[in-house]
């Protein structure tokens, strides 16, 4: 009977020791979870941007890389319309895709999944609309250069056969 409590403490100590060694080995590793080339595919977006759409409307977007380089954080502002939004994007290595969550001061919440290919970042989502019809939405980052890019917001009501461009924003990098 006396040996059971001692055995319990030995087993617990052993398990804790193994767990701590595992955590220590992971933190000492030179392979950081967000240092792969795929996890850097959205880095083109990082910076301060002046935005234009409909030839006259303007906004700003500040994109930062945070949380040990694992998260792309967007801070969108259209001060004329008093519309503000935030997004958080991460590369999910298990699924091989980018995932983004958007929230704004209109109470919107949207979640997207996408990939970077053919020199474009495309993130999309689908949901059942108020009339029971499936709506597909996507955003496409294209014409990407060091100083500018285009962002297109599109929707489809026929399963992606046809897409309607709802909003086109041109980004110009702010010179500091």
Residue 162 CA to residue 160 CA, distance in Å, equals: 5
Q: What is the pLDDT of residue 79?
A: 86
**How much is the pTM?**
0.80
pLDDT in tens, 141-157: 999 999 999 999 999 99
Q: What 8-state DSSP symbol labels residue 146?
A: S
The torsion angles phi and psi of 35, rounded to 5 degrees, stand at -105, 5
pLDDT in tens, 116-172: 999 999 999 999 998 899 999 999 999 999 999 999 999 999 999 999 999 999 999
Could you state, in order of their start, the residue ranges of all structural domains in the chain? 1-29, 42-173
Task: Note the CATH number of domain 42-173.
Answer: 2.40.128.20
Residue 135 CA to residue 40 CA, distance in Å, equals: 30
Residue 15 CA to residue 110 CA, distance in Å, equals: 41
């Amino acid at each position: 009977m006396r040996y059971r409590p001692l055995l319990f403490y030995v087993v617990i100590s052993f398990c804790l020791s193994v767990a701590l060694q595992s955590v220590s080995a992971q933190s000492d590793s030179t392979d950081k979870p967000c240092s792969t080339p795929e996890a850097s595919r959205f880095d083109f977006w990082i910076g301060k941007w002046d935005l234009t759409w409909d030839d006259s409307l303007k906004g700003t977007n500040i994109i930062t890389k945070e949380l040990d380089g694992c998260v792309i954080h967007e801070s969108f502002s259209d001060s004329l319309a008093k519309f503000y939004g935030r997004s958080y994007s991460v590369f999910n290595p298990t699924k091989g895709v980018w995932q983004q969550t958007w929230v704004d001061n209109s109470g919107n919440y949207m979640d997207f999944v996408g990939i970077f290919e053919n020199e474009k970042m495309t993130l999309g989502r689908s949901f059942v609309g108020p009339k029971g019809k499936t709506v597909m939405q996507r955003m496409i980052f294209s014409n990407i250069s060091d100083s500018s890019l285009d962002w297109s917001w599109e929707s489809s009501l026929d399963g992606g056969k046809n897409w309607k461009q709802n909003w086109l924003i041109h980004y110009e990098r702010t010179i500091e």
